[in-house]
Amino acid sequence: MRFEGRVAVVTGAAHGLGLDAARGFAREGARVLMVDRDPAGHEAAAALRAEGHDVRFRAADVTRAADVAAYVEAALEAWGAIHCFFNNAGIEGEVKPLVEQEEAVFDAVLAVNVKGVFLGLRHVLPVMRAQGQGAVVNTASTAGLVGSAGLSPYVASKQAVLGLTKSVAGEVAREGVRVNAICPGPTETRMIHSLEEQAARRGANDPAERYRAAIPMGRYCLPSEITAAVLFLCSEAASGITGAHLQVDGGRTACPMGSAMR
């Protein structure tokens, strides 16, 4: 029970990686505030409470400062502290060349993936500084490390997440607060299947097979494999790690040709 007596806040917690991480924190003893704009998070939180965990859900749009302030306040009202923050909500945007990208889609992707992460940091870090302790994990992506033709707004947003992570880590490091990022590769959630479907609609031949072939392990990661990295970075075992990014990608960025040259 690495997080007994700790409070964790997780955004994008109604589905996918956020939901799995919320479950992981709760099962390791944390009290968890699940945050999402999708009210389906109410049922997800209820399911965890039925397992005996102290979990609440707060509906919020991470792009709205008032909503962010309100979810931080909700965690403090309930439990008086925030020790771990998984700043994770994100959207993928549309798969098309940059010259076809709609301005509104670019704005939406940057709003959720960059401004949402910024606002989370802006409102949670003062709490952690006052406590003299805390650990944040921002969700970037392997798209934060390399380009991806057809996904320029998403790639730009995830590279910005790494910039925010490294800069702010240096600002709070002497106050007991660590800020890191995870860079998942393709992982089994709604998002990767949306990207596959969009690529297929644009005429790509079996994108799922092509994506998997570019991963040395030959498969997508599982949400539980991302959760394991998030919990590690939030735990005492990572006490010397800040401003870092951790790839959990089956070897994809290390070896982008996958197993093709074997």
Ligand X SMILES: NC(=O)c1ccc[n+]([C@@H]2O[C@H](COP(=O)([O-])OP(=O)(O)OC[C@H]3O[C@@H](n4cnc5c(N)ncnc54)[C@H](O)[C@@H]3O)[C@@H](O)[C@H]2O)c1
Residues belonging to the active site: 154
Number of chain residues interacting with ligand X (CB under 6 A): 29
Task: Catalogue the E-assigned strands of the chain.
Answer: 7-11, 31-36, 55-59, 84-87, 134-139, 177-184, 245-248
Tokens of 262: 């074997």
Q: Residue 39 is which amino acid? A: P
> Are 247 and 38 spatial neighbours (Cβ–Cβ below 8 Å)?
no
Tell me the window of 82-90, 167-175, 207-215, 239-247 that interacts with ligand X (CB under 6 A).
82-90
User: Does 189 interact with ligand X (rule: CB under 6 A)?
Assistant: yes
List the one residue from 101, 165, 187, 247 that touches ligand X (CB under 6 A): 187
* C-beta closer to ligand X: residue 133 or 253: 253
Question: 213 to 252, contacts with ligand X by CB under 6 A?
Answer: none
Give the helix/strand (H/E) hosting 60: none
List the one residue from 7, 14, 114, 169 that touches ligand X (CB under 6 A): 14
Burial bucket for residue 68 (CB in 10 Å: 0-12, 13-18, 19+): buried
Tell me the window of 59-67, 198-206, 233-241, 252-260 that interacts with ligand X (CB under 6 A).
59-67
Q: Residue 5 is which amino acid? A: G
* C-beta closer to ligand X: residue 90 or 250: 90
User: Does 62 interact with ligand X (rule: CB under 6 A)?
Assistant: yes
The set of residues, in sequence order, having a beta carbon less than 8 Å from that of 99 and lying 6+ positions away, is none
Nearest approach, Cβ of residue 261 and ligand X (Å)? 24
Tokens of 168: 């702010």
Question: 104 to 143, contacts with ligand X by CB under 6 A?
Answer: 112, 116, 139, 141
* C-beta closer to ligand X: residue 58 or 83: 58
List the one residue from 10, 26, 63, 252 that touches ligand X (CB under 6 A): 63
List the one residue from 49, 190, 210, 219 that touches ligand X (CB under 6 A): 190
Length of the chain: 262
* C-beta closer to ligand X: residue 81 or 91: 91
- Write out the DSSP string of 191-220: HHHHHHHHHHHTT-S-HHHHHHHTSTTSSP
Tokens of 1: 């029970």
User: Does 89 interact with ligand X (rule: CB under 6 A)?
Assistant: yes
The set of residues, in sequence order, having a beta carbon less than 8 Å from that of 186 and lying 6+ positions away, is 192, 195, 211, 212, 215, 220, 221, 249, 252
C-alpha 145/C-alpha 161 separation (Å) is 11
* C-beta closer to ligand X: residue 17 or 137: 17
List the one residue from 24, 150, 184, 250 that touches ligand X (CB under 6 A): 184
Residues that bind ligand X (CB under 6 A): 11-12, 14-18, 36-38, 60-63, 88-91, 112, 116, 139, 141, 184, 186-187, 189-192
